[in-house]
Chain A
């Protein structure tokens, strides 16, 4: 069936998404192919810097609507040669996450949610045992409280408005691709703007995420996120 599809025209752009703006707003935006490719390349360099390589197993717990933030990561994992495993983010599916962690030597978990972590805390085997040999957990803010002291490396995974913020082992805070995004603060909230042209223009768009900018270089804007402060 992939052969038949080769004769079809390519989708004109990657997709349409939306992100929360401030407390109640929702901003719709398009993602173009060029910027998607740049996002994949950035994710690939960050994942390689995190120590992931061919043959590693990474468990991903995301929803499909998160594609604008997560598909660059999934695509990058494939390019690296990582084999990825898929589970849902909801608590009723936590046993799938547990099953993968029990049966396979998972090196990293990406997108762990509070729902999943909470559901597994007191199960048999408990979350602490499941994560004992996992080297990296990219956790959502609501999962962090469940992970204190039980996972060796807990790193941020945050939707920063239309941008993605990820942690890297050994570095404080979370990294945002500085080639694509400028990050600033307004009243303690992080705001984002385009650094280069993308399909949609963002100008100091409020992300609803509280934090501060730690440093800015050509490669990355490093931000400190209040929700991960306890780590």
Chain B
């Protein structure tokens, strides 16, 4: 292999050892953030009224005229919210593939990606960009916070449905390592991280489970020691696996989540909440029943407005994510809102007349050693269920008597939840093979 060519320093003005990529905006005062958001919102409202048939119709039906919106307060109290079903209904009625959201001619788009589609058919995401696609571009401050710096090597993530990341990595001066990381390549990935001194990798559940299987053959901690950090997205990894990655393997694991389908929100170094970059998204939490705005750290539905998307912005989009948000500055000095995800609004279920969240089931199951990987699904066989039906994944190489395990798991769940439980066991790999997304493993499935 040849020696790399010399580094092009371009217009370098900031030292690499600064904590934040964009200190001015990342630590802006609350007033500065609010001013910026108001300015963007007051530009957006007349723009989409002019260009988007969907918003014109939605707002007209609500009796809203763009001239009525003269402040952030007017915006959050007068502009109606909407959800994915509204886009779908508009599309079904009009035949417009973009659901009336597209604000430019299709020929002006650079790329069109789509949502994960875990809760229905994917929705189109039109994109206009020049340097790197919007989604990875939003990762920039977060990767910098992890400690990545120009010249570091990054393993390319496998999934491509939200666009390609190499332009973005190059934008940050990072070197992509192109290796097939998909299911079945865990050993090659492990070796490549060690060989190339890879500084960052995107983990996903099957890859973590493959590493776990390789523990008896390799010193995983040593092989992963070059990592400055690793990311994990989708459903949470679970307490047991998270501890294994962080404590036993010594990897600084950063989880991230969707910012109401307007981008992503990542943990900072303190791992205390996901940062919502408020110069790109206006985030609100609303009561799911009354629609009333909620206060700091109160649990409600995330309602998001795209502030940096001129192709097809989501404006007061009801995400279905149940969250808590605080605008208290973080200990690091970052001032943007932080969010904690409680689950999907659809994850709430009634079993035997009792309300229940997926997290409660998870906590009980992962305390059972053989089920500690937390790979399970709730089978929702009707809206109101008399008994809880669970599919749990077990590792065949670490599991003895299946009948005994089934009985023990059922007993733990029944004791902990106070409802009748039917437990079905399945090898972990078989259960993961039912996933319909690169990043997400659905915890609640239909029968």
Contacts and interface: CB of A to CB of B under 8 A. Distances in A.
B247 interface: no
Interface in A1-36: 1-2, 4-18, 28-30, 32-33
Contact of B161 (A9, A57, A93): A93
Nearest to B128: A83
B165 A11 contact: no
A9 B22 contact: no
B160 A9 contact: no
Interface string A100-112: 1001100000000
Closest A-B pairs by Cβ, 6 of them: A103-B97, A55-B107, A12-B4, A10-B8, A15-B176, A17-B178
Contact of B151 (A9, A18, A55, A99): A9
Contacts of B153: 16
A74 interface: yes
Contacts of B138: 1
A30 B178 contact: no
A54 B107 CA distance: 7
B152 to A, nearest CB: 9
Contacts of A29: 1
Contacts of A54: 107
B178 A16 contact: yes
A199 B3 CA distance: 8
A78 interface: yes
Given A7-B14, A30-B2, A15 B150 contact: no
Interface of A: 1-2, 4-18, 28-30, 32-33, 54-55, 57, 60, 62-68, 71, 74, 78, 81, 83-88, 90, 92-93, 95-96, 99-100, 103-104, 199-201
A28 B12 CA distance: 32
A66 B164 CA distance: 10
Given A65-B158, A96-B122, A5 B140 contact: yes
A55 B109 CA distance: 9
A96 B157 contact: no
Contacts of A84: 110-112
Interface residues of B, number: 68
Contacts of A10: 7-8, 10, 150, 170, 173
Nearest to B140: A1
Nearest to B195: A28
Contacts of B137: 1-2
Given A10-B10, A65-B156, A96-B161, A200 B1 contact: yes
A63 B12 contact: no
A11 B170 contact: yes
B6 A2 contact: no
Nearest to A10: B8
Given A8-B10, A83-B106, A86-B160, A199 B2 contact: yes
Contacts of A30: 1-2, 4
Contacts of B112: 57, 83-86, 100, 104
A176 to B, nearest CB: 20
A103 B2 contact: no
B124 A15 contact: no
A15 B178 contact: yes
Nearest to A28: B1
B51 interface: no
Given A1-B137, A8-B10, A10-B10, A16 B161 contact: no
Nearest to B127: A83
Contacts of A12: 4-7, 151, 175
Nearest to A2: B131
Nearest to B96: A103
Given A65-B181, A88-B438, 8 more contacts: A2-B130, A5-B173, A12-B5, A17-B177, A71-B166, A78-B110, A93-B438, A200-B2
Given A9-B9, A12-B7, A4 B140 contact: yes
